[in-house]
Amino acid sequence: MKLEDILQKYYGYETFREGQKELIEHVMNNQSALGILPTGGGKSICYQVPGIARGGLTLVISPLISLMKDQVDTLSAAGIPAAYLNSQQKAAEVRAVESDLKKGAYQFLYVAPERFEQNNFRYLLTQLDIRLIAFDEAHCISKWGHDFRPSYRQVVSRVMTIGAPCIAVTATATVDVRKDIQELLYISDDCVVETSIKRDNLDFKIDPTFQKDKMVRRYVKEHMKDSGIIYATTRKQVEALSEQFTDQNISHTIYHAGLSSEVREQNQTAFVNDNSPVMIATNAFGMGIDKSNVRYVIHYNLPQDLESYYQEAGRAGRDGLQSECILLYSEQDIRLQQFFIGNTPDEVIQERKKEKLEKMVQYTKTTQCLQGTLINYFNPEEHLEPCGRCTNCLMEAKYDMSVEAKKLMSCLIRIKTPVSRGILTKVIRGEQVSQEMSQLSTFGLMKDYETKDIHGFIDTLLFNGYLDEIDGKLHVHPSAKDVLMSDVKIMTHYHPVSYNERVTIHTLVNVDEDLFEHLKKVRKELSVEMNVPPFTIFSDRTLTLFAQKQPTTKQEMFHIEGVGSYKLKHYCPRFIEAIKSYQSTV
């Protein structure tokens, strides 16, 4: 049976999606292969179709019991005999599956990597006709992956003795993770198929709001008919949000590792079946959950890395309909992630995690397209274009950098060979690189600009698709002629600085000066009552934060710099009362 016939018969599709057939053909040619396809990109088909075509048994190594069950149910519903072995099965169930396996009753067997630690299972494998081995969620193999599982990595040496080709699939893999998987599974560069992580139906948004709770409650109430996931870093935060939702009569359920397996399964089922439209969870929830109608994913806290963020955010809109991915963050989130990283025993991995956290923080601060930033992180050589829907694309860029763009691209063209952004910056700033380059007409053309500003212009050109960066070298894209030969404008967020102008520096914005003065009077009254200097109660900076953020609960107060447990109890009620009183008069 042809591959397309299998696709049509069992899955109801007439054609393969991008990357699928290429990956399948590698496997059909007995070549081990790696597929990096976005969430919702049809990764399972990439090993199920060749598994059916090759005959015999396909052994699938999967990280989660829930994922195994979903896949086996889906295959069985399509008339494809499949089974799984996991730790939750009774001994009689295991024996029955093993007996059927020996009879050749199944085409697919799903197991967790820990199953290979059992001698009787390894002996069972020697009696089976295994013709393909699949690693689902393959990033779990790599020690550089965000969901690294040592058992996944340890099973590789045992699997390789079976003698069947391997296929590994994942939605998220950085360059380091990809190379690690390739080395472990002996996969050549020619057998790596990577499609863009770009998903045009996802709108990425960043909201640095201080009042996270209010924002989340408001958003969910405005989308009561939609299904969504809210991710929080800790179990405590999940429980706190759940209490608020209960008080507001918002239907929801929760998921974290502190719940029993029975409760987790019940809650997950309620969410998947649309009985509870909202799931509040830690990152323990989500891998392999094939719920297609999730309309929004909100991250209440900053994740530790972009891999985790993209995989979790990517659970929105798997049906292809427009969906939102919203990231909330605060400085406290960064400190919490730093604490977690500090407890990593392996120093090399700890340093790598610090680097990844820095990339995550940079994502919250970039002025470039958010989807483009994610694409650039996973595949630096992919041609970028602004999505036109994210927070940054919708934010008005006020500086016309068309002149700077023409200078930079003209300089790169005159150099005649691709160079790094560092070399381009030096040449256009007039810094000596080589005698040949110092003779260019564009040498020193932007000598009055800071290096960081030129890098910002280069980023804008990359993210607008006028430059490409391949192997660390810049190339002028054909679309650049629209800028060079016409009056096309390129806008950015650059602010030119005149070194002769006087600049008034404000450390905070949106501060209510009247409220600030009112809070100073309250502080003075307290200081007199307690016979202590005013600054020992709260500093001016803390009062400024009060005036800016206007907290009206102890929980909101506690998150402000300068507020400890003692001051929260003894001083804050007076300030909360003062803020509420002030708000009622304006």
Residue-level pLDDT at 348:
83
Angle at 31 between CA 60 and CA 158, to 5 degrees: 45
| Crossing angle (nearest 10°) for helices 421-429 and 451-463 | 130
Angle at 295 between CA 290 and CA 296, to 5 degrees: 100
Residue-level pLDDT at 140:
86
Evaluate whether residue 507 is within a structural domain. no
Residue-level pLDDT at 503:
32
- Asked if residue 538 and residue 451 are part of one domain, the reply reads no
Residue-level pLDDT at 357:
93
Residue-level pLDDT at 84:
94
Residue-level pLDDT at 390:
94
Q: How far is the C-alpha of 383 from the C-alpha of 14, rounded, in Å?
A: 29
Residue-level pLDDT at 443:
93
Residue-level pLDDT at 510:
62
Query: What's 295's domain CATH number?
Result: 3.40.50.300
Evaluate whether residue 92 is within a structural domain. yes
Evaluate whether residue 505 is within a structural domain. no
- Asked if residue 163 and residue 18 are part of one domain, the reply reads yes
- Asked if residue 220 and residue 242 are part of one domain, the reply reads yes
Query: What's 559's domain CATH number?
Result: 1.10.150.80
pLDDT one-digit tens code per residue, 92-125: 999 999 999 999 999 999 998 889 888 999 999 9
- Asked if residue 407 and residue 365 are part of one domain, the reply reads no
Could you list the beta-strand ranges (E) of 157-213: 166-170, 192-194, 202-207
Last residue of a domain, one of 457, 492, 527: 492
Residue-level pLDDT at 237:
94
Please state whether the predicted TM-score (pTM) of the whole model is above 0.85: no
Evaluate whether residue 126 is within a structural domain. yes
How far is it between the farthest Cα atoms of the chain? 89
Residue-level pLDDT at 425:
93
Evaluate whether residue 141 is within a structural domain. yes
Evaluate whether residue 83 is within a structural domain. yes
Residue-level pLDDT at 299:
97
- Asked if residue 465 and residue 414 are part of one domain, the reply reads yes
pLDDT averaged over 10-residue windows placed end to end, the chain, 586 residues: 88 86 95 88 90 95 80 84 90 92 94 89 92 91 77 84 92 87 93 90 89 92 93 94 94 94 89 90 79 91 92 88 92 89 85 91 92 92 92 87 93 93 93 89 91 90 93 92 86 65 40 84 88 77 86 86 79 92 81
- Asked if residue 247 and residue 100 are part of one domain, the reply reads no
Quick one: how far is CA 21 from the chain centroid?
27
Query: What's 410's domain CATH number?
Result: 1.10.10.10
Total number of domains in the chain? 4
Evaluate whether residue 506 is within a structural domain. no
- Pull the structure tokens for residue 502: 């006087």
- Asked if residue 210 and residue 189 are part of one domain, the reply reads no
- Asked if residue 338 and residue 228 are part of one domain, the reply reads yes
Last residue of a domain, one of 324, 355, 382: 382
- Asked if residue 314 and residue 292 are part of one domain, the reply reads yes
Residue-level pLDDT at 502:
32
- Asked if residue 188 and residue 227 are part of one domain, the reply reads no
Helix (H) or strand (E) holding 473: strand 473-476
Q: Is the CB of residue 338 less than 8 Å from the CB of residue 357?
A: yes
Angle at 261 between CA 260 and CA 263, to 5 degrees: 65
- Asked if residue 184 and residue 207 are part of one domain, the reply reads no
Domain that holds residue 74: 3-194
Single out the residue of 35, 50, 40 nearest to residue 4, CA to CA.
Answer: 50
Evaluate whether residue 501 is within a structural domain. no
- Asked if residue 341 and residue 209 are part of one domain, the reply reads yes
Could you list the beta-strand ranges (E) of 108-226: 108-111, 130-135, 166-170, 192-194, 202-207
